[in-house]
Structure 1
Amino acid sequence: MTALVTIVIPVFNERAVLPALHRRLAEVLAAAGERSELLFVDDGSDDGSGPWLEALAAEDSRVSLLSLSRNFGKEAAVSAGLDHARGEAVIVIDADLQDPPELIPELLRRWREGFDIVYTVRASRRGESWLKVGSARWFYRVMGRLSAVPVPADAGDYRLLSRRAVDAVRALPESHRYLKGLYAWVGFPQACVTYHREARAAGKSKWSYWRLWNHALDGITSFSAAPLKLATWLGLATSTLAFLYGLYLLLRTLLYGNPVPGYPSLLIVVLFLGGVQLICLGIIGEYLGRTYDESKRRPLYLVKGYRPGADD
């Protein structure tokens, strides 16, 4: 009997694209002759995605439906999918059809060659603004320099994990999860597949720039202490400059006197030092806040319902 392949699909308000997604996944898996489980994770959708998926699960025995109690975010939804996936190979794919299901046979081929993680790298990103593409490229470059664990640049969530890679990721307990970094951290043999990312088939992105910024902070603070070190060096450099400037003012006063009070320069120095202190406190606060969240040990997600499909 061939190995079971689980496709994990996090869903949040994707009702418009779900029929096309299911059709294309079914066609690809049927052509490949794979035993498959389609595990949809409904992350608190309120656009009718939940009822449609329930009806689909009743019709298609391969479909499993995991419904979360509310919207916990994509990282939590993917983690929930990994926790409930039963396959020997697990593929994570977005529901918006930007990641082509037709790439699945190539991912499986590389897995059968012995790779535990097969990640995909986006050669191009259609339908996305230059600002989003540019900021993503910038973030991956910064992350690569700051992180002690190399995180592949321009790699998305679309990837395959072997059973032992899934179990390794599941064993990691943090609640502020940056999954791309966790996939890199667990190690194991990894391979890369390059593809051209399509525009969304329907609907609109749920990732605002504010959410992307917070996601980037999660990635940096989870895998690097460099910002804390930067705050230390910034404080040291500022103190050195302030000392040198004070020495300069002292010598100038002794040699030439000081007929005009230095109120403007004093104000500039005070504001500069205050700004540096606030930046350093903000960096420390980001790490402290995440430590506080981790100490509460709240579950990453709560399940409202789970309907497993057939696994044969």
Structure 2
Amino acid sequence: MFKDKVIYSVVVPLYNEELVIFESYKRLKEVMDSTGEEYEIVFVNDGSKDGTKTKVQLICKKDFRIKLVNFSRNFGHQAAITAGMNIAMGEAIVVIDADLQDPPEVILKMIEKWKEGYEVVYGKRVKREGETFFKKFTASIYYKLLKSMTSVDIPTDVGDFRLIDRKVCDALSSLPEKNRYVRGLVSWVGFKQTYVEFIRQKRLAGETKYPLSKMVKLALDGITSLSYRPLSLINYVGVFLLIASLLSAIIIIIKNIANRVDILSMGLVLSINSFMISLLFISMGIMGQYIGRIFDEVKDRPIYIVDNIVNYEKIDSNNLNMKS
């Protein structure tokens, strides 16, 4: 049993992290023990297919501060973060991945900022070790694109590694959307925010849990959940292409008249048709992204389903979706 109320909750989403889980627990425990205050570490097992669940259960038997939430299947990284924040009991909640690319020792700097009165403290990467040029380049382009499309001030070179105050956590839990982009939602809810800088490390072991397909999905969730400008962009592109098509048609017609050939040549017709069909498909694709997300919201399915939990005596049924 806890002697005092929990001050810090550390939320750690897990998916096939059996190679790093013991070392991750060791370093997190060392950091949190050094605070001298009550804490809990909430591991959220996002449907792992390896020995992650078994290893965390062993840790839970030895350390009552360690909690485990097991999903019924894989629901995704953002869903795991959401579940961890929903169940966390701390006054300050830290989100960190288990791969140790984000050093747990940075949490102490975040706590210092929190005690100064900041309600959101995010980790800002000043250097990325062990990441390819392609990943760094595409991440840079994405954040610039996202920043230009939304009025929400989303910091660059920032992931989900951050500390949030209880009031921020409660505000996030009240948001109903299904396709969650947590780092964007944290910026959207506001409150007093700052950052601490750190060097992102190489993965201790294992493979990245964010391949290109998942990165694209996360990027689309970020853009569509925070901005409707891609829909407006279709109108501007349509007007521009209409003017360009008219001008090009006029030029080709004049040229054909001057050369005494058929005004409506086959090449002109095919080029205009191909151009307009391509534009139509692009427009439909953009609208489809938004319509698909509207469909998810209308279905009103839970963001995740919990199979079971370990080391929690009492659970608010309103906070977690438990499988019967």
Give TM class, smaller chain. Answer: over 0.9
2:63 corresponds to 1:63: no
Q: How does 1:134-213 map to 2 (within 5 A)?
A: 134-213=137-216
1:261 is displaced (CA, Å) by 6.2
Q: Name the SS of the counterpart of 1:161 in structure 2.
A: strand
CA contact (8 A) 1:107 1:118 kept: yes
Deviations 1:96-125 (A, max 9, x none): 000111111111111011111100110011
Aligned position for 2:308: 305
Contact 1:57-1:309 within 8 A present in 2 as well: no
Q: Tell me, in whole angstroms, the C-alpha distance in 2 between the residues paired with 1:234 and 1:64.
A: 51
Residue type of the alignment partner of 1:21: S
* Match among 222, 227, 231 for residue 230 of structure 2: 227
Deviation at 1:265, TM superposition (A): 2.5
Matched-pair contact (CA < 8 Å) for 1:15–1:49: yes
Task: State the AA in 2 paired with 1:294.
Answer: E
| Alpha-carbon shift at residue 54 of structure 1 (Å) | 1.1
* 1:292 and 2:268 are equivalent in the alignment: no
Does 2:27 align with 1:42? no
Residue 75 of structure 2 is matched in structure 1 by 72
Partners of 1:75 and 1:108 lie apart in 2 by 23
Q: Which amino acid aligns with 1:69?
A: S
AA in 2 matched with 1:268: S
Runs of at least 4 residues off by over 6 Å: none
Aligned partners of 2:263, 2:278: CA distance in 1, in Å? 26
CA drift of 1:248 comes to: 3.5
SS at match of 1:269: helix
How much has 1:51 moved relative to structure 2? 1.1
Q: Which moved more, 1:13-22 or 1:262-271?
A: 262-271
SS of corresponding position for 1:203: coil
Unaligned runs of 5+ in 2: 315-324
- Pair 1:20-2:23 in alignment: yes
The partner residue of 2:100 within 97, 100, 115 is 97
- After superposition, residues 107-146 of structure 1 pair within 5 angstroms as 107-146=110-149
Indicate if the aligned counterparts of 2:118 and 2:194 stay in contact, CA closer than 8 A: yes
Q: Please tell me whether the aligned partners of residues 44 and 83 of structure 2 are also in contact (alpha carbons under 8 angstroms).
A: yes
Structure 1, residues 40-98: CA drift from partner, whole Å, max 9, x if none?
00000111101111121111010011111000000000000000000001000000000
Are residues 126 and 265 of structure 1, via their aligned partners in 2, closer, same or farther at CA, if it must alter by over 3 Å? same
CA shift digits 1:186-242 (9 cap, x unpaired): 100011100000000010101111110111011011111111111111111111222
Identity of aligned residues (%): 37
Structure 1 stretches lacking a partner, 5+ long: none
Q: Return 244-253 or 138-147, whichever deviates more.
A: 244-253
Which amino acid in the other structure matches residue 206 of structure 1?
K
- The letter for the 2-side match of 1:277 is L
CA distance in 2, matches of 1:212, 1:103: 25
Contact 1:9–1:92 (CA<8 Å) still a contact in 2? yes
Name the TM-score, length of structure 2 as normaliser. Answer: 0.92
1:53 aligns with 2:59: no
8 Å CA contact 2:6, 2:40 repeated in 1: no
For residues 91 and 16 of structure 2, the distance between their equivalents in structure 1, rounded to whole angstroms, comes to 29
2:256–2:263 CA contact under 8 A, matched in 1: no
Hey, what's the Cα distance between the residues in 2 that align with 1:199 and 1:169? 30
Partner Cα separation in structure 1 for residue 263 and residue 175 of structure 2: 63
- Secondary structure at the counterpart of residue 105 of structure 2: helix
Tell whether the 8 Å contact from 1:10 to 1:74 is kept in structure 2 after alignment. yes
After superposition, the Cα gap between the structure-2 partners of 1:3 and 1:111, relative to the gap in structure 1 and judged at 3 Å, is farther
- CA RMSD in angstroms, aligned pairs only: 1.7
Residues 149-184 of structure 1 show CA distances to partners (whole Å, capped at 9, x for unaligned) of: 010111111100110000001011000111111000
Question: Is 1:214 the equivalent of 2:212?
Answer: no
| Residues 1:29 and 1:252: Cα distance change in structure 2 (over 3 Å) | closer
Residue 282 in structure 1 maps to residue 285 in structure 2: yes
